[in-house]
Structure 1
Amino acid sequence: MRLYPGDIGAATGFATDTDARVLDRDDAPIDVLYAVGNDMHSIMGGTYPGPGITLGPGLTFAYLAAQHAVARAKTPLAWEAKSAAV
């Protein structure tokens, strides 16, 4: 298989919130599911202005997702809290 470099990229992907959590059809975050980079809908409004445009947002939202995941890991999930209370 031959591979050729190009300047094509993704401009559409999963809808996410400010913590990079993937949103469902009702725009509610899906618990512990994150998307960044090319898997995340472009912050450029669905356009792809040029190569590397996903690098900055990818790094930024990866950081935000990691911060959210760490904070979330310190808090029990809702079903864990309910079963512990029984």
Structure 2
Amino acid sequence: MPPLPPDRILRRRLEVGRRIRDARTWANLTQERLAERAEIDRKTISRIENGHMSPSLDHLLDIAEAAGVEPVCLVPGGPEPWGRPTAPEVP
């Protein structure tokens, strides 16, 4: 089994995967439907969303188009038009 990548890369993968999942659910798409629209295998979408692999630039662009968001929304630091749920404040 190959060694794990450094923590910073794992954190980045998880953040990109979360953003893709958020964009997909915001667009009301299943992984299957997103995969069809982006012409990417559904297992690849799952692996990316779960941080098991990094998307190629081509995949990132195809996923953004399929979900109806700008590619910058899928990378750390980019805008999140779907909003991000926050935990309620505890008094």
- TM-score class, shorter-chain normalisation, is under 0.3
**Larger RCO: 1 or 2 (CA < 8 Å, sep 6+):** 2
Q: TM-score, normalised by structure 2?
A: 0.25
Larger radius of gyration: 1
* TM-score, length-scaled by structure 1: 0.25
Higher strand share: 1
